[in-house]
Every structure is written in structure tokens, then in C-alpha cells.
Amino acid sequence: SKYGSPLNGTRLSGESRVLSTGDRVKLGQTEFSVQQLPLVLCASGLRGVEKGVVDRAMADLGVSLVAQWSTDVTHLIMTHVSFTPKLLTALASAVPVVTPEWVRLLAARRQLNEKPPDPDAFPPSVPSTEGSQASQMGGISQSVGVRQETRRHLFAGWDIVWLPKAMGTGAAANDMKTSELLLLMGARELPWANHGDTATFLQECIGKGVRFLLPESDADAASECALA
């Protein structure tokens, strides 16, 4: 504006300023609030050409991929659905799972007011159910990778107790991961009562509708006995 633009109530005239999150800029009769949207990208299973597309887009965006999953991750990049720990955590946390094409289009924007591509429009595809993947992917919906907020509350109201061995020393990594996913989706984990009156504790849990989880190793053994 030739009359200067107010920044946080102070009129500027001719000088330049670096804006920060929370700043208020008034242009004409419209006031804008500056907000910085974090972009923390993590990838799972990218190879060859796909990784090259992402690397070039990341360079244009001025950001880099993080190797390990954390609660700071805003998007997971994956081309095809494969139930890796990162994907399961993203689905349980309602974090968008996008293809490399989404990252490419995000970096290709040239106007500040151009909206970023909708992440829910770029979910990873589900591989065909032919061959060795048939048992894992059979019946899986093509929309499995689309963000769903309801997953964060899927087990709300559930109290869970791991039966002995699962959460103790030497607990299987899969048991630990299962516990983490259930907690992300709203469940509450109750500690195993470490006292002599196990029967009373179990009766109390059953009366309260507590769900019991069997350690993976014990579940496998139980399955073998049932099939014998």
C-alpha cells in the first residue's frame, strides 16, 4: 500500500520486515494472520526412481526426510501399502500417508496463495493380491491408506491387560508395538497385578469388561495346540 501496511498495529512505510508466526498484517480492510505450518516428512519403502522424485522435491522445499518416526511427523511417504511399523503408526495416529507425487506437486507450487495438494487424494495403492502377497492383501480396501480421524478413537473406552510375559523382560517387539498402537487408538493399558491373589484380580477385571492380550509367543503355542 502506498500509505503503508499495518504490522501488528504499527504502520510500515517502505521498509521490509521478516514475518513470524502470530504476526498480523492488514491489507486494505482485510487483516491476515501469519501461521507457519510445520512439514516433517518420513518415508517407508521408497526405492530407486521414487526416492529420486522425493529427494528432488525435498531439495526444492528446503526440507529433509527424517529417518525415524516421531510424533513430529506430519506426513508419511509411501508408494504401495505395506504394513510396516511406520504405516501402522501413521494410520493409528491419523497422519496423512501420501505418494511421492504429492510431494512433487507440493514443491511445484509457484504462488504463495496456491493451495497445497490434498494429501487424502494421494494415498498409497494396495498391491494386487496375486502370488505371495495374496494372504496379506486379500480383501484390503484401496482406501486403507486414507487418513481417518475415527481410528484415533477406535478403542476408546477399552481397558487392556497383557497377560504375564508380554510386557516383562524379554517381551516380544511385536507385543510392544501392538500395545503402542492400541494406546494411540484410545485404549488404556492397566498393569498386571503383581500379587498372589491372581484369581481375584482376574475376576475383578472380567467384571469390569477388561480385555486380555496374550503374548505373541504364547498365542502361537496355543494355536499349535489347537491344531494338533
Q: Pick the closest to residue 182 from 204, 167, 165, 196 (CA basis).
A: 167
**pLDDT tier for residue 99 given thresholds of 50, 70 and 90:** very high
Domains and CATH numbers, the chain: 41-149 (3.40.50.10190), 154-227 (no CATH)
Tens digits of residue pLDDT in 140-157? 777 888 899 999 999 999
Tens digits of residue pLDDT in 72-89? 999 999 999 988 999 999
**pLDDT tier for residue 129 given thresholds of 50, 70 and 90:** low
Angle, vertex CA 68, rays to CA 45 and CA 165, nearest 5: 95
**pLDDT tier for residue 106 given thresholds of 50, 70 and 90:** very high
d(Cα 127, Cα 140) in Å, to the nearest integer? 10
> Quick check: 20 and 8 in contact, CB under 8 A?
no
Can you read off the three cell numbers belonging to residue 101? 507425487
Q: What is the pTM of this model?
A: 0.73
d(Cα 163, Cα 192) in Å, to the nearest integer? 7
Give the model's pLDDT for residue 167: 46
Question: How many CA atoms lie within 13 Å of 216's alpha carbon, on the beta-carbon side?
Answer: 11
Question: How many CA atoms lie within 13 Å of 100's alpha carbon, on the beta-carbon side?
Answer: 18
> Quick check: 95 and 38 in contact, CB under 8 A?
no
How far does Cα 205 stand from its chain's mean position? 31
Quote the crossing angle between the two packed helices 173-184 and 216-227, to the nearest 10°: 110
What is residue 66's DSSP assignment? B
At 174, is the secondary structure helix, strand, or coil?
helix
